[in-house]
């Protein structure tokens, strides 16, 4: 999804670089919470030798799969507001020269609260943020009820439009940058994926050192295409500096109305994407995946870089919520 170190031109239409077409697959029908976010987890991964292109994982053959044992290293099941402790930040983190006060308001403070290059039409807010002013506006896009976090995007109040840099919507982002990052392991969200014109929910990862790429898009929703889930890997070719990407769309018919698990297992040799803990695609780890990565979950509005999202218009919802049951990370057990 990229904040993204000017990633936009390289990630316009996702379904398929490297001559890989957009494919449709149905995940396992599991709609219950599987094993939940248990302290221990075992996943099945393919063992076949990988080529240079990403590929779908076909119908599992038990003899061609191996078990990967993992232990949990991060978990939030959202029994409390996500900003009550230090696990999440509500903005993209800046470098050491970026003063902490700059996150909370003043001219130019929108720089870390949206990605203009993507054509986004929201600004990410939290109760402390003041927009062009330095007085908190008290806007809170995060709500917790019965263990479910809702990140809500809503049309910007007219009286606050100028203060909020004339963005059409206010919404929310949560990131673990500089708070939690990990090299290798399994990263998972359990969520409902909202739909509507301009609606762009995502769960994704970036390098904690601030470089781009690498980028792992574990789940992106195309708001104008209900049930379409995008899973993509991004990397840079050192010799040419060209950014490549490879990924697929998967159809989850009830993604907007039922909770499903969307995850990625990053191993030293391969990256495997999962829906309801069933492997659906994989890729040989590209060049540049050397540093620990952090997690991001957000609800953007409007996109010129991801086909099927569209720009905000009169048909866009006045309010729309990205409902999240939990976010978890696991590390691979040592053998």
- Beta pairing partners, 234: 215, 245
- Catalytic pick among 220, 239, 244, 334: 220
Q: How far is CA 246 from CA 59, 211, 267, in A?
A: 21, 19, 17
* Per-residue pLDDT, 34: 62
The yes-or-no answer on residue 188 being catalytic is no
Give the global pTM. 0.91
Q: How far is CA 29 from CA 12, 42, 106, 251, 275, in A?
A: 30, 19, 48, 12, 10
Contacts 24+ apart (CB under 8 A), 32-40: 33/190, 33/259, 33/325, 34/261, 34/276, 34/277, 37/72, 37/75, 37/77, 37/188, 37/190, 37/326, 37/328, 38/72, 39/71, 39/72, 40/69, 40/70, 40/71, 40/72
Answer for the pair 272, 279: CB distance below 8 angstroms, yes or no. yes
Answer for the pair 183, 331: CB distance below 8 angstroms, yes or no. no
Ramachandran region of residue 276, left (φ > 0), alpha (ψ -120 to 50) or beta?
Answer: left
* Per-residue pLDDT, 31: 52
* Per-residue pLDDT, 99: 80
* Per-residue pLDDT, 32: 56
* Per-residue pLDDT, 25: 46
pLDDT tens, residue order, the chain (335 aa) = 765 443 333 333 333 433 333 444 444 444 556 667 799 999 999 988 888 889 999 776 666 899 999 999 999 999 999 999 999 999 998 766 778 788 899 999 998 899 888 999 999 999 999 999 999 999 999 999 999 999 999 999 999 999 999 999 999 999 999 899 999 999 999 999 999 999 999 999 999 988 899 999 999 999 999 999 999 999 999 999 999 999 999 999 999 999 999 999 999 999 999 999 999 999 999 999 999 999 999 999 999 999 999 999 999 999 999 999 999 999 999 87
- Catalytic pick among 10, 120, 188, 215: 215
Q: How far is CA 239 from CA 51, 54, 236, 287, in A?
A: 20, 21, 9, 11
Q: CA nearest 152: which of 204, 197, 201?
A: 201
* Domains within the chain, CATH numbers bracketed: 40-332 (2.60.120.200)
* Per-residue pLDDT, 62: 67
* Per-residue pLDDT, 102: 84
The yes-or-no answer on residue 215 being catalytic is yes
């Amino acid at each position: 999804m990229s904040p993204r170190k000017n990633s936009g031109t390289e990630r316009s239409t996702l379904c398929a670089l490297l001559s890989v077409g957009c494919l449709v697959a149905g995940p396992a029908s599991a709609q219950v919470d599987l094993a939940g976010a248990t302290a221990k987890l075992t996943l099945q991964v393919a063992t076949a030798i990988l080529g240079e292109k990403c590929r779908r994982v076909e119908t599992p053959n038990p003899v061609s799969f191996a078990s990967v044992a993992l232990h949990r290293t991060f978990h939030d099941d959202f029994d409390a507001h996500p900003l009550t402790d230090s696990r999440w930040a509500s903005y993209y983190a800046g470098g050491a020269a970026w003063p902490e006060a700059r996150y909370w308001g003043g001219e130019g403070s929108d720089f870390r609260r949206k990605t203009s290059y993507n054509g986004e039409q929201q600004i990410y807010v939290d109760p402390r943020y003041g927009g062009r002013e330095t007085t908190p506006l008290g806007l809170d896009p995060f709500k917790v009820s019965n263990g479910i976090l809702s990140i809500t995007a809503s049309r910007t109040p007219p009286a606050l439009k100028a203060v909020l840099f004339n963005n059409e919507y206010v919404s929310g982002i949560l990131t673990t940058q500089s708070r939690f990052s990990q090299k290798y392991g399994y990263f998972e969200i359990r969520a409902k994926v909202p739909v509507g014109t301009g609606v762009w929910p995502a769960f994704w990862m970036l390098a904690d050192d601030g470089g781009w790429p690498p980028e792992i898009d574990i789940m992106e929703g195309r708001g104008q295409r209900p049930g379409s889930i995008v899973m993509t890997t991004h990397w840079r070719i050192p010799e040419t500096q060209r950014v490549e990407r490879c990924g697929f769309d998967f159809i989850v018919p009830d993604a907007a109305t039922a909770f499903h698990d969307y995850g990625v297992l990053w191993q030293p040799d391969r990256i495997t994407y999962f829906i309801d803990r069933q492997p659906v695609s994989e890729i040989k780890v590209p060049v540049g995946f050397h540093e620990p990565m952090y997690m991001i979950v957000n609800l953007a509005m409007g996109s010129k870089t991801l086909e099927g999202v569209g720009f905000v218009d009169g048909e866009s919802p006045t309010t729309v919520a990205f409902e999240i049951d939990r976010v978890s990370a696991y590390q691979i057990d040592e053998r």
